[in-house]
Structure 1
């Protein structure tokens, strides 16, 4: 159940933002949280800045437990999506992972359980 915010330059067209959002949602399932199809909170928003100078910026809020390999795989997948959709250089992508205890994540008024890998 990560919450992901992707910041793109002002003026990015609706169709491009839609493709980025859908691509990131799929990347989450492919890399970070393969069993969590219900909780796929991804938002794409415009920010003041230019590619390579502060953008693109991605913030991922999630419960603790993912190993560094899963996080890197998600970062790489997002970089590929943004390169395809915005022609951004992957070296310019900044991804910030912020881990918060499960009791700080609520949906429908109920806290989420601790995260465990799909194979457990």
Structure 2
């Protein structure tokens, strides 16, 4: 788990949005949650704004427990993906992490357990 929403400019081609989504899903596994694959939700949506003036905007909702280094690694990976796919300058990327207790995250009608590191 996390739930990640990536906002890109209106008119972004479907194939580009698909590559962004796939790349971010892999980045989550590489950085933030290496043992989880079932609960990774990534959506790419269009927004009325321009690159460098409100976009790209990324919101990450997750359970508490990730170290700052994991979050920074995810941000760096997302910045690289968006630079490749959209030509966006990493300095214009805004990422907001929102942590909520595990009991506030449900899938299939069941709350998720507390997050623990893959090596724990």
Question: TM-score scaled to structure 1, two decimals?
Answer: 1.00
May I ask how many residue pairs the two structures share in their alignment?
Answer: 120
Q: CA separation in 2, counterparts of 1:18 and 1:57?
A: 17
Give structure 1 regions of 4+ aligned residues with deviation exceeding 3 angstroms.
none
Question: Which whole-Å deviations, capped at 9, do the CAs of 1:61-104 have from their partners, x for residues lacking one?
Answer: 00000000000000000000000000000000000000000000
Question: Which whole-Å deviations, capped at 9, do the CAs of 1:34-66 have from their partners, x for residues lacking one?
Answer: 000111100000000000000000000000000
Q: CA separation in 1, counterparts of 2:34 and 2:15?
A: 26
Give the match's secondary structure for 2:115: coil
Give the match's secondary structure for 1:36: coil
Q: CA separation in 1, counterparts of 2:6 and 2:17?
A: 9
Unaligned runs of 5+ in 1: none
Question: TM-score scaled to structure 2, two decimals?
Answer: 1.00
Q: Report the CA distance between 1:119 and its aligned residue.
A: 0.5
